[in-house]
Amino acid sequence: MEQKALDAEIEGLKNEAKDTMRGQFFGLVIGLATILSSAYMSVNGAQIAGGFMGTTGLVGLVSVFVIGRRRSNSKSTSKNKEIAEKEVG
C-alpha cells in the first residue's frame, strides 16, 4: 500500500511539473505576442494604445506569476507542516 501511495504521489508531482512547464511556455508566448503587438502599434502611429497594451499586458503577466508563486509557496508550507505533525504525532 505504501508503494502504491508513493507511486501515486510521484505521478502527481510529474503531472504538476508538466502543468507548470506548459503554463510557463504559454505565458512566454502571450508575453512576447503582447510586447511585439504593442511595439508594432507604437511604431505605426498608435503610441497611446501601444503603450497601454504593453503596460497592461506586462503588469498582468507579472501579477499572475507573483500571485501564483505565493499560492504555491503557501501550499507547500502548509503541506510541510502537515507532514511534520504526522511524524511527531
Range of the domain at 78: 2-88
Full-model pTM: 0.57
Question: Do 53 and 40 form a contact (C-beta atoms < 8 A)?
Answer: no
For the record, the C-alpha cell of 78 comes out as 502548509
Q: Which amino acid is at 46?
A: A
Q: What is the pLDDT of residues 14-49, one digit of tens each?
A: 888 888 888 778 878 888 888 888 889 889 888 888
Q: What integer pLDDT is reported at residue 74 of this predicted model?
A: 61
Alpha helices in 1-89 (DSSP H): 2-43, 47-88
Q: What is the pLDDT of residues 46-88, one digit of tens each?
A: 888 888 888 888 888 777 777 776 666 565 555 555 555 555 5
- Beta carbons within 10 angstroms of residue 53's beta carbon: 19
* Residues with Cβ within 8 Å of residue 37, at least 6 apart in sequence: 50, 53
Total tally of structural domains belonging to the chain:
1
